């Protein structure tokens, strides 16, 4: 099993997290967003979208973090058995990519790597209401629930953990979100849990 | 089976298309993006994200068009049998929501409903390179292939058909994309195919 991606990326971390939680070994090639390497012919042959993570499972090449979560969860406790629960897990995975990641992950990225100045500030301001709405929706859904779907941790929780637990790095501390914070702690208590690499140590 | 959504929305159309292709009857409540109705307590109880489509299958409520495609494809020819093909189908569904829909669908929406003026033009211009890149990637992938994954039509094709076949409504005609045009014609030749409602007739 081989993974391409920068270990401080929340999307790459999703895949690292399920690999750790399910006890599977892998190698990591640290390909980084925003570098020439990610636009090289070699990398684009793996993923023409020019994005990480890319998973290579003995020659089976799979882009898209949430598709990787699904693939790696098959036959594990992180993919529920009932079709309706499976559909709800996928609902949260699509919501994560459309209504959560484009706000929380992009703001976090801009705060770390954006050129200081009004254009970066405009882009952060433009995306902040969407980030706040995503966190409000999570808080509302998790109030009175342990996990996003059903009675156990699924890949919906793992996908949404990735950029929610570093919301403060996007300028959005979770003080007003007690249900979200309790849920983050439940993910962190899973046997085999590994933390996201910090930007500075992963550079 | 009950569907909430505006019939000129490509996301709503995805679900209408698989319902038609698999011969299932349903009722439609025409809830429209950008209206007070979609932010009403009644609708937010169905989908706290305030988005259409929402599917209600005898009380099982499922938001997110691509999760609905997955749910409705179970046990049909549109969900492949091999796990690796299933993973690739999901890869394209996530790519559609992250790297295709936010460009092609949003530009199409802005051209129909955006307030005429420099702010709408700025937003269209900002998203046009992403739309062009998505269409280039599809053309490259479909050159020499009939379908996105494997040997038959899957929900990956249905999801990507929705906003690709109206690329011209986003100002991006497909003249330079022969493989994409041939693939669109293959989708349109499926038994039971139904077209997307036009904006003007669906208003």
* Closest-CA distance of chain B to residue A168, Å: 22
* Closest-CA distance of chain B to residue A200, Å: 27
Average pLDDT, stretch A175-188? 98
Are the beta carbons of B70 and A90 separated by less than 8 Å? yes
Tell me the CA distances in angstroms from A26 to A4, A12, A23, A135, one per residue in order: 10, 13, 10, 32
Are the beta carbons of A71 and B60 separated by less than 8 Å? no
CATH code of the region A83-188: 1.20.1050.10
Output the pLDDT for position B34. 80
Are the beta carbons of B94 and A137 separated by less than 8 Å? no
Q: What is the pLDDT of residues B57-96, one digit of tens each?
A: 999 999 999 999 999 999 999 999 999 999 999 999 999 9
Q: Which residues in chain B touch residue A93, judged by CB atoms under 8 angstroms apart?
A: 67, 94
* Closest-CA distance of chain A to residue B185, Å: 24
* Closest-CA distance of chain B to residue A161, Å: 18
Are the beta carbons of B88 and A137 separated by less than 8 Å? no
Q: How far is CA A20 from the centre of its chain?
A: 14
The Cα A59–Cα A16 span in angstroms is: 18
Output the pLDDT for position B2. 97
Average pLDDT, stretch A148-167? 98
Six-digit token pair at B53?
């489509």
Range list for CATH 3.40.30.10 in chain A: 2-76
* Closest-CA distance of chain A to residue B154, Å: 16
User: Within 10 A of B120 (CB to CB), how many other CB atoms are there?
Assistant: 14
* Closest Cβ–Cβ partner in B48, B60, B74 for A140: B48
Q: Which residue of B has its CA nearest to A91?
A: B67
The confidence band for B203, taking pLDDT boundaries of 50, 70 and 90, is very low
Six-digit token pair at A98?
């459309």
Chain A contacts to B (CB-CB under 8 A): 48-49, 51, 60, 62-68, 70-71, 74, 83-84, 87-88, 90-91, 93-95, 97-99, 101-102, 137, 140-141
Q: Which residues in B68-105 are b (16+ Cβ under 10 Å) and which e?
A: bbbbbbeeeebbbeeeebbbbbbbbbbbbbbbbbbbbb
* Closest-CA distance of chain A to residue B46, Å: 12
Asked whether residue A36 carries a pLDDT value surpassing 60, the answer given is yes
* Closest Cβ–Cβ partner in A70, A94, A140 for B66: A94
Output the pLDDT for position A38. 92
Interface test with A, best of B80, B98, B156 (most A CBs within 10 A): B98
Output the pLDDT for position A200. 66
Are the beta carbons of A66 and B90 separated by less than 8 Å? yes
Range list for CATH 1.20.1050.10 in chain A: 83-188
The Cα B20–Cα A54 span in angstroms is: 35
Output the pLDDT for position A203. 43
Q: What is the pTM of this model?
A: 0.97
The residue whose two tokens read 């999801």 is B159
Output the pLDDT for position A201. 56
Domain A2-76: CATH class, spelled out:
alpha beta
Q: Which residues in chain A touch residue B58, judged by CB atoms under 8 angstroms apart?
A: none
| Domain made up of B2-76+194-202: CATH architecture | 3-Layer(aba) Sandwich (3.40)
3-state secondary structure at position B132: helix
Range list for CATH 3.40.30.10 in chain B: 2-76+194-202
């Amino acid at each position: 099993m081989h993974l391409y991606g920068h270990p401080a990326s929340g999307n790459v971390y999703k895949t690292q997290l399920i690999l750790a939680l399910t006890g599977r070994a892998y190698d990591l090639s640290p390909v980084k967003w925003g570098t020439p390497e990610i636009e090289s012919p070699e990398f684009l042959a793996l993923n023409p979208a020019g994005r990480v993570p890319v998973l290579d499972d003995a020659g089976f090449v799979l882009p898209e973090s949430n598709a990787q979560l699904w693939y790696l969860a098959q036959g594990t406790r992180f993919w529920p058995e009932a079709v309706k629960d499976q559909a709800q897990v996928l609902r949260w995975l699509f919501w994560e990519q459309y209504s959560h990641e484009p706000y929380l992950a992009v703001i976090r990225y801009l705060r770390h790597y954006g050129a200081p100045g009004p254009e970066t500030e405009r882009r952060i301001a433009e995306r902040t209401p969407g980030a706040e709405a995503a966190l409000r929706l999570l808080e509302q859904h998790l109030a009175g629930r342990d996990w996003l779907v059903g009675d156990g941790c699924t890949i919906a929780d793992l996908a949404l953990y990735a950029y929610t637990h570093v919301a403060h790095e996007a300028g959005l501390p979770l003080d007003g979100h007690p249900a979200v914070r309790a849920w983050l702690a439940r993910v962190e208590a899973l046997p085999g849990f590994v933390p996201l690499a910090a930007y500075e140590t992963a550079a």
